[in-house]
């Protein structure tokens, strides 16, 4: 049973780290949302193995990116 939680992960060229992150939460939470800042590496291909909830937004700073996610993603659970 998945916990009724949504996880928001901000990414940019994270091919070296993202799979371990996603493995650690896959199958235990309800939603994984990715907000990518235009990765040029294999980040998106790796992410697609775990979720199709992938969004792109130009990165200005962490606060702006997180606020954009909270205002624009279809989150219907608690989030972390």
Q: How far is CA 57 from CA 1, 2, 23, 35, 64, in A?
A: 31, 28, 24, 7, 10
The enclosing domain of 58 has a CATH number of 3.90.190.20
What is the pLDDT at residue 59? Answer: 96
Task: Indicate the burial class of 7 (C-beta count within 10 angstroms; 0-12, 13-18, 19 or more).
Answer: buried
Q: Which domain holds residue 19?
A: 3-79
Distance CA 33, CA 41 (A): 19
For each of the chain's 80 residues, which pLDDT tens digit applies? 789 999 999 999 999 999 999 999 999 999 999 999 999 999 999 999 999 999 999 999 999 999 999 999 999 998 76
What is the pLDDT at residue 78? Answer: 85
Tell me how many domains the chain contains. 1
What is the pLDDT at residue 1? Answer: 77
What is the pLDDT at residue 16? Answer: 98
């Amino acid at each position: 049973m998945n916990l009724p939680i949504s996880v928001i992960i901000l990414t940019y060229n994270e091919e070296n780290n993202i799979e371990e992150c996603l493995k650690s939460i896959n199958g235990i939470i309800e939603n994984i949302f990715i907000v990518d800042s235009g990765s040029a590496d294999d980040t998106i291909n790796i992410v697609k193995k775990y979720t199709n909830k992938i969004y792109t937004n130009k990165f200005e700073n962490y606060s702006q990116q997180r606020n954009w996610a909270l205002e624009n993603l279809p989150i219907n659970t608690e989030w972390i």
